[in-house]
Amino acid sequence: MLLNSKGGCGKTTIATNLAACYASQGRATVLIDHDGQGSSTRWINARSQHSAPIHGIEAYQEKAGVTKSFLMRLPEGTERVVIDTPANVKGQQLIELVGRTDSIIIPVLSSQIDIDAVSKFVVELRKLPRVRGGDVRIAVVANRARENTVMFLDLERFLLRSEFDFVARLRDTQNYMQAAETGLGIHELRGARVKKDVGQWAPLVQWVERGAADTPRAMATALSAHPAPARSTAKKPVASIKSSPS
């Protein structure tokens, strides 16, 4: 799950690229969009029919005659669930979202405003029972990083002191925007120009996968309030990732 109460930190960009990464590996992937702006949903709709399939769920929608449980059901065989969330998440909404995931990724930009905002958000996050009890893995990501700048070095020092895993530095590049325009992820682009970007994703994906290997129960965790139809067998673990570059 991509999560940060600060808007504009790149939650949707990371969520869509993570979903594309798994889909391109042949994993049955679901992208749940909780953000009323619907950016992740539009990205899915922009994908070509020749791209690896990603099942989208518009969790922010309320449709007449459709129950929430039906709206949130996962397709049979789902292996990875990526969750995009809105800005300004707090209170009961924050509690409910954290209750539906096993891994949270917090993207942070290199500005003092973003550092201050995430500091306050982390205080609220720590108060939640699932976080205090260690039931949710949390990682931080330096997003749109401009290395060798003063602000990036300040952000890096801040994240290295964080109690959470500092797992990746994703650079500021137009490659993400160009990919998003056609509903693609950075892992689906070809050529030398994205080689560095793909390499920067490796530790983030590895962190998610370490959690997936330990959480075969993640399907039930991700949608505990909206159970999916029972399955006869579960051959592969399912990772639920809540996340935040938009």
The 10s digit of each residue's pLDDT in 5-37 is: 999 999 999 999 999 999 999 999 999 999 999
Instruction: Find the range with the poorest average confidence among 104-108, 167-171, 230-234.
Output: 230-234
CA 168 to chain centre: 13
The 10s digit of each residue's pLDDT in 198-234 is: 999 999 999 999 887 665 444 444 444 444 444 434 4
Read off the pTM. Answer: 0.85
Q: How many CA atoms are closer than 13 Å to the CA of 181, on its beta-carbon side?
A: 6
Please tell me the distance from the alpha carbon of residue 229 to that of residue 243, in angstroms, as a whole number: 25
Q: What phi, psi does 178 have (nearest 5°)?
A: -65, -40
The 10s digit of each residue's pLDDT in 47-91 is: 999 999 999 999 998 888 788 888 889 999 999 999 999 999 999
